[in-house]
Amino acid sequence: MSSAADRSKNYLNEESGLWSWLTTLDHKRIGIMYMITVMFFFLIGGVFALLIRAELFSVGPTVVEGAAQYNQLMTFHGAIMVFMVIIPGIPAFLGNFFLPLQIGAKDVAFPKVNLMSWYCLIIGAAISFYSLFFNGADTGWTFYTPYSIETDNGTILLVLGAFVMGFSSILTGVNFVATTHRLRAPGMGFFQMPLFVWGLYSTAILQVVATPVLGITLLLLAAEKTMGIGFFDPALGGDPVLFQHFFWFYSHPAVYIMILPAMGIISELITTFSRKVIFGYKAIAFSSVGIAAVSFFVWGHHMFVSGQSQLAGVIFSFLTMLVGVPTAIKTFNWVATMYKGSIQFQSPMLYAMGFLFLFTIGGVTGVMLAVMAVDVHFHDTYFVVAHFHYVMVGGTLMAIMGGIYYWFPKMFGKMYNEFMAQLSFLFIFVGFNVTFFPQFILGAQGMPRRYFDYLPAFEPLNRVSTVGSWLIGIGFLIGLYVIVSGMLKGKKAPDNPWGAKTLEWQTSSPPPHTNFHEQPVVTGGPYEYR
Amino acid sequence: MFWVNKAHAGNTFMPPQASNFAESVDTLYGFLYYASLISCILVIGGLIYFAVKYKRKTATDKTAYIAHNALLEFLWSFIPFVVFLVVFAWGWKVFYDMRNAPKDALEVHVVGQKWNWNFIYKSGRKSGGEFTVPVNTPVKLIMSSRDVLHSFFVPSFRVKQDVVPGRYTSLWFTATKEGDFNVFCTEYCGTGHSTMLAKVKVVSKAEYENWLENDPYKGLSLAEVGQKVYAGACIACHNTTDVKKIGPGFAGLWGTDRKLTDGSAVKFDEAYVKESIVNPNAKKAEGYENAVMTSFQGQLSEDEITGVIEYLKTLKK
């Protein structure tokens, strides 16, 4: 093992000063920069969410200044959370930090490209926020035409920002594919890779292949808006439904860009805290790739009532069912991994179990929405809002939080306050269900989404939902405290506090600049708890 | 429990069943609901059971090394697959019925625009904000939009269809219950999206014939005609009080001088009201620079516009 002298230097104190961070090529430092950026965006998007819920507490205009402002809040909440939080959240932050560590590499394949992708996110986000000075944008994050063509010009900036942020996503994807293929430690074949790496790898392929389509679509939209070229506006000879096809051709795979790496984290957490080999390693690994592949062919399930042909609807419904199978397999595998394990309820495990609980509800409601006749009733109601929050927040965000606590000792070399972290989980988990479960019922009753105001009959459940949002807010504030206080004054962390088997735990906490003191050599699978 | 279909037991969470599709959708939904409930109990129950049973006892617990189990894995792939195929086919069957209207269905044209619904019958009868259909008769709505995407949703009928500019879409239903049912716009269409509401009134066949033949404004004063027009066309954006909605509230406006965005002023009189109805964005009042109104040219008859003018005169602060 390494000597004491080696261990005093690590990636955090190797260099100092703001400039050393802004120009760093170290994947770990870039990961931390993503962490700070994403947390900042999450805070803004979260405040917008709280304002939306506050407005919906009562019938009639109350908190915000009219429907126009509400629609901007709704648009920016969605755009920020999708493009700036959930998409970069796992790959660019936790993936950046731990992909090289988990495969025993010194860095990603293209460190400069890695830094560039962070700047793309920052520049894109800056352009998006700049749109707020031009009457903002009020199209919803989906930019549906022709409304997006005739509304105010702030929309162009938001679209342009999303376009630039797309490059961040593409570059990260390219980097991860190359890294996974080329930089694995000696002895690590594809089937010795941790499942988080499988998740990131599948995601990276989606990012590289799907994101350019979004870029092209948004450019066409901008060209139509500024130069009047008729792609989507029927007044100019275009077709608004075509935009929806283009948009969802990216944005449906994007859903899996958001959830696949989350599933990877859950595999890590369940094995570590059950101290047990994963059940069905290959099934989980292949289902990640399978989900990624099929996810390209299901976009039309967002459009059953859009006016697309009945035949198209039937095919999309069928293919969507096929995506359901590998997703179900993964869930069963995780639960089976806990069988005869030795389960420890640290906060990362609580988040993993929270994920399983919420994601299962998100999953079964997803199947309901894939059934055409039922979707006709639920489409564009609060049922859909509840469903995708169960998947995106109950799934992805739970995994991010679990991942942050799990790897916190490795990232900062310090421990966080376990009691406060569990308290934070309790508020978030309970608050989440209080907020979003009533929305299933509201949707079933027929309350449409994106409504600034609603019928009085919907008020009681909306009130419950708003109260829940306050609980979530408190939970995340406690979480912020846990993270910041842990960074500043946490107790020193051991190298492997959880007794995990993957490679990142074999180096010091925090790792040195080059990740490992000696080149690790892999001789077995990632979860050999014997 | 909760929102499962209990059509036969007085369920309160799905809206009332009032069309031919409601029961078939709810039956399928009920199946999905119970299948989901069982799945959730299995997964979440298993999760909690294992968590309690296999809680870590000592720091050096040994665990079983179970890497996989072919039979189990086959079963939990195959059974969901079969269930998914069943609900897929079942959903297709009901969807197919929704998409194929009987040939003899009563046809009504629906035009969506920001932010109201207009209904035009073959007899030439028009109606805004609400429409009337006979009970137990297939009705086909042929829908188009004058501006952006909208979506026509009647929760109690379990039908929904996007209304797309540049093409015609349609949906059909047979109303099975008399009464008033809500219509919502469910495709986001801008500032007034959540006020783009309408009602479908289901009446007996005799009443429907009667309604169709009657002049809707018969025996009404001009101001009363205006009030009816207001309720179908203007209500989404204008209050009858002096409170701003998307556009200005009408109370007390009549006869006043309105400051315009270009700094000039115009009297709120017959000419200005008429111009604002047919060419609404020509003279915008100060404070409404960003508000956009769709023209009602061709939508409202000369008599109806006159009615609106007389109605506005009656609205006092």
Express each pLDDT in B54-82 by its tens digit. 999 888 888 889 888 999 999 999 999 99
- A149 within 8 A of B287, measured Cβ to Cβ: no
Q: Does B40 sit within 8 Å of A446, measured CB to CB?
A: no
Domain that holds residue A319: 25-506
How far is A141 from chain B, CA to nearest CA, in Å? 11
Counting the structural domains of chain A, the total is: 1
Is position A413 within any domain? yes
pLDDT at B10 over 70: no
- Looking up residue A47, the CATH number of its domain turns out to be 1.20.210.10
How far is B222 from chain A, CA to nearest CA, in Å? 31
Task: Please count the residue pairs, one from chain A and one from chain B, whose beta carbons lie less than 8 angstroms apart.
Answer: 269
- Please report residues of A whose CB lies closer than 8 A to that of B30: none
Closest Cα in chain A to B92: A372
Q: A133-147, B16-30, B40-54: lowest mean pLDDT where?
A: A133-147
pLDDT (0 to 100) of residue A119? 97
Q: What distance in Å separates the CA atoms of residue B246 and residue B189, rounded to the nearest whole number?
A: 14
Average pLDDT over residues B37-61: 92
Please name each of the domains of chain B with its CATH number. Answer: 7-99 (1.10.287.90), 106-213 (2.60.40.420), 222-314 (1.10.760.10)
Closest Cα in chain B to A446: B155
pLDDT (0 to 100) of residue B295? 84
pLDDT at B2 over 60: no
How far is A86 from chain B, CA to nearest CA, in Å? 23
How far is A75 from chain B, CA to nearest CA, in Å? 11
Element (H, E) at B116: strand B116-121
Q: What distance in Å separates the CA atoms of residue A153 and residue A158, rounded to the nearest whole number?
A: 9
- A249 within 8 A of A501, measured Cβ to Cβ: no
Q: Does B55 sit within 8 Å of A364, measured CB to CB?
A: no
Q: Considering CB atoms only, which of B56, B67, B84 is closest to A367? A: B84
Strand partners, B98: none
Is position A341 within any domain? yes
Q: Considering CB atoms only, which of B39, B87, B153 is closest to A371? A: B87
pLDDT at B287 over 60: yes
Q: What distance in Å separates the CA atoms of residue B289 and residue B280, rounded to the nearest whole number?
A: 12
Residue A492 corresponds to which tokens in the numbers above?
């020193």
pLDDT tens for each residue of B96-143: 999 999 999 999 999 999 899 999 999 888 888 889 999 999 999 999
Residue A244 corresponds to which tokens in the numbers above?
């929806």
Q: What is the DSSP letter of A279?
A: T
User: Full-prediction pTM beyond 0.80?
Assistant: yes
- Please report residues of B whose CB lies closer than 8 A to that of A66: 191, 244, 246
Q: Does B190 sit within 8 Å of A147, measured CB to CB?
A: yes
Element (H, E) at A459: helix A459-489
H helix intervals, B100-203: none
Q: Does A329 sit within 8 Å of B147, measured CB to CB?
A: no
pLDDT at B261 over 90: no
Q: Considering CB atoms only, which of B63, B158, B194 is closest to A342? A: B63
Is position A386 within any domain? yes
Q: How does strand B130-134 pair with strand B197-203?
A: parallel
Give the residue from A149, A195, A224, A380 with the most B CB atoms within 10 Å of its CB, the best one to mutate: A380
- Please report residues of B whose CB lies closer than 8 A to that of A356: 43-44, 47
Q: Considering CB atoms only, which of B14, B88, B160 is closest to A305? A: B160
pLDDT (0 to 100) of residue B11? 52
Angle at B296 between CA B290 and CA B302, to 5 degrees: 140
- Please report residues of B whose CB lies closer than 8 A to that of A241: 164, 167
Burial class (CB in 10 A: 0-12, 13-18, 19+), A348: buried
**Cβ-defined contacts of B56-61 (< 8 Å, 24+):** B56/A275, B56/A342, B56/A343, B56/A344, B57/A342, B61/A275, B61/A342
- In sequence order, the 6+-apart residues with CB closer than 8 A to the CB of A463 are A57, A58
Q: Does B64 sit within 8 Å of A276, measured CB to CB?
A: yes
Is position A522 within any domain? no
User: Based on C-alpha coordinates, what's the Rg of chain A?
Assistant: 23
Residue A185 corresponds to which tokens in the numbers above?
């430690």
Strand partners, B163: B150
Q: Does B195 sit within 8 Å of A453, measured CB to CB?
A: yes
How far is A68 from chain B, CA to nearest CA, in Å? 5
Is position A381 within any domain? yes
* Packing angle of the helix pair A310-338, A240-274 (nearest 10 deg): 10
pLDDT tens for each residue of B191-215: 999 999 999 999 999 999 998 888 8
Q: Considering CB atoms only, which of A68, A318, A444 is closest to B290? A: A68
pLDDT (0 to 100) of residue A4? 47
- A91 within 8 A of A207, measured Cβ to Cβ: yes
Query: Model ipTM?
Result: 0.92
DSSP B208-273: HHHHHHS-TTTT--HHHHHHHHIIIIITTT--SSS--SSS---TT-TT-EEEBTTS-EEE-SHHHH
- Please report residues of B whose CB lies closer than 8 A to that of A364: 35-36, 39-40
Residue A200 corresponds to which tokens in the numbers above?
């990131």
Please name the amino acid found at residue B256: T
Average pLDDT over residues B208-231: 88
Q: How does strand B138-145 pair with strand B106-113?
A: parallel
- B239 within 8 A of B250, measured Cβ to Cβ: yes
Is position A517 within any domain? no
* Regions of chain A short of the pLDDT cut 50: 1-5
How far is A373 from chain B, CA to nearest CA, in Å? 5
pLDDT (0 to 100) of residue B98? 94
How far is B268 from chain A, CA to nearest CA, in Å? 25
Mean pLDDT of chain B: 89
Neighbours of B59 (CB within 10 A): 8
Please name the amino acid found at residue B120: I
pLDDT bracket for residue B4 (50, 70, 90): very low
pLDDT (0 to 100) of residue A460? 95
Is position A524 within any domain? no
Average pLDDT over residues B209-236: 87
Residue B317 corresponds to which tokens in the numbers above?
């602060």
Q: What distance in Å separates the CA atoms of residue A104 and residue A517, rounded to the nearest whole number?
A: 11
Q: Does A353 sit within 8 Å of B47, measured CB to CB?
A: yes
Q: What distance in Å separates the CA atoms of residue B273 and residue B279, rounded to the nearest whole number?
A: 10
Is position A10 within any domain? no
Distances (CA, A) of B273 to A427, B280, B296: 55, 9, 12
pLDDT tens for each residue of B145-188: 999 999 999 999 999 999 999 999 999 999 999 999 999 999 99
pLDDT at B8 over 50: no
Q: Does B91 sit within 8 Å of A321, measured CB to CB?
A: no
Residue located via tokens 């005799």? B206
pLDDT at B231 over 90: no
